[in-house]
Amino acid sequence: MGAKGQIIITGVSSGIGLAIAKLALETGFSVQGIGRNEPKELTSNPYWFFTTADLSQENEVEDIPFKLAADPLPTVLINNAGTLGAMGQAKTIDWNDTNECMTLNVTAPMRLTARFMSLSQESKQVFFTGSGAAEYPINGWSSYCASKAAIHMYAEVLAQENPSVPIHAFTPGKVDTPMQAQIRAASKEDFPGVEHFREEYADGLLVKPEAVAKAVLHVVQNPGEQPVVFPTSQITTV
Ligand SMILES: NC(=O)c1ccc[n+]([C@@H]2O[C@H](COP(=O)([O-])OP(=O)(O)OC[C@H]3O[C@@H](n4cnc5c(N)ncnc54)[C@H](OP(=O)(O)O)[C@@H]3O)[C@@H](O)[C@H]2O)c1
């Protein structure tokens, strides 16, 4: 186990999850990544473990083994894997599209967290990669907005039930990841606001995943400073 503690994180093949996994290893945590694809650049690190799982599949979520040491150092779960889901007017979103988004963004992190909270490790922390889209409606993103609002509220309830455990949903802003590329590729019909996202990208206004990773690792190491839901842009000490 790493000198600073151990972190389990989902969705580590790219974007925010990969940046957090890399920084956590550099900082001295051992890291268990979970997802469909292992990032090759981490495989040689002796403090890195990878568990292959498609988090949209119930049996795979329920069977994930937690590779954890019994230790008083922080043991952290970061539920990061997510999908934008289908974009388009709500009336066009079918059962499968709805189900895929809600399963990956809501049901899987809730179940993984429930299993994690039942473990005996003393010093647990739980994070969810939330979104500003939980807090304001975006025309064409009904599934995504609803899923992120659900996970913010889950974090709030979990925090109320477990006052001694740091539990957070962080909102990272618009981050330069493959998910943003997917947003920019949308049609104006499916996502009327797409042009604004293209302009912000062209103007270099997107947040780097590494900045989000620094903010999250700061909160992991300085528990108790933030409310349950916090924007990573608020962490000015990193
Ligand atoms: N980028 C932004 O502006 C932004 C803003 C707010 C919140 N977020 C949130 O940040 C989180 C990470 O997204 P990102 O922006 O870093 O985009 P990303 O690079 O596309 O990362 C998404 C991650 O989720 C994993 N994933 C997708 N489907 C999965 C499945 N069925 N099972 C297991 N893993 C799966 C992907 O891995 P594989 O496809 O390799 O399996 C990937 O590692 C998401 O929860 C997203 O909602 C992003």
* Residue 95 Cα to ligand 1 middle (Å): 21
The pLDDT of residue 143: 98
The pLDDT of residue 236: 80
What CATH number has the domain bearing residue 55?
Answer: 3.40.50.720
Domain annotation covers residue 189: no
pLDDT in tens, 46-90: 999 999 999 999 999 999 999 888 777 889 999 999 999 999 999
pLDDT in tens, 172-188: 999 999 999 999 999 99
Residue 3 banded pLDDT, cuts 50, 70, 90: confident
Domain annotation covers residue 187: no
Give the amino acid at 57.
Q
pLDDT in tens, 14-51: 999 999 999 999 999 999 999 999 999 999 999 999 99
Q: Which run of H or of E encompasses 19?
A: helix 15-27
Residues with CB under 6 A from ligand 1: 11-17, 35-37, 54-56, 80-83, 104, 129, 131, 172, 174-175, 177-180
47 classed as catalytic: no
The pLDDT of residue 30: 96
Exposed e or buried b per residue across 109-127, where buried means at least 16 C-beta atoms within 10 angstroms of its C-beta: bbbbbeebeeeebeebbbb
Nearest to 187 by CA among 128, 129, 139: 139
Checking if the pLDDT of 238 tops 70, the result is no
Mean of per-residue pLDDT scores for the chain: 96
Q: Which two tokens stand for residue 238?
A: 């990193």
* Residue 65 Cα to ligand 1 middle (Å): 21
pLDDT in tens, 199-225: 999 999 999 999 999 999 999 999 999
Please indicate, yes or no, whether the overall pTM of this predicted structure exceeds 0.85.
yes
Q: Which residues pair with 76 in a beta bridge?
A: 7, 125
Domain annotation covers residue 86: yes
Domain annotation covers residue 199: no
Distance between CA atoms of 9 and 6, rounded to whole angstroms?
10
* Residue 226 Cα to ligand 1 middle (Å): 24
pLDDT in tens, 223-237: 999 999 999 999 986
| Boundaries of domain holding 73 | 5-173+208-234
Domain annotation covers residue 186: no
The CA dihedral of 193, 199, 202, 204, to the nearest 10 degrees, is -90
CB atoms under 10 Å from CB of 43, counted, come to 9
Ligand 1: which residue has its CA nearest to atom 41?
A: 36
Checking if the pLDDT of 101 tops 70, the result is yes
Domain annotation covers residue 198: no
**Long-range Cβ contact pairs of 132-137 (< 8 A, separation 24 or more):** 132/171, 132/173, 132/231, 134/169, 134/171, 134/229, 135/171
* Residue 72 Cα to ligand 1 middle (Å): 30
Nearest to 79 by CA among 51, 97, 119, 106: 106
Domain annotation covers residue 101: yes
Checking if the pLDDT of 135 tops 90, the result is yes
Distance between CA atoms of 195 and 191, rounded to whole angstroms?
9
Among residues of the chain, what percentage have pLDDT more than 70? 99
Q: Could you give the number of structural domains in the chain? A: 1
Checking if the pLDDT of 1 tops 80, the result is no
Which of the listed residues 31, 179, 208 should we mutate to test ligand 1's pocket, taking the one with most ligand atoms within 8 A of CB?
Answer: 179
Domain annotation covers residue 116: yes
The pLDDT of residue 49: 97
Ligand 1: which residue has its CA nearest to atom 9?
A: 129
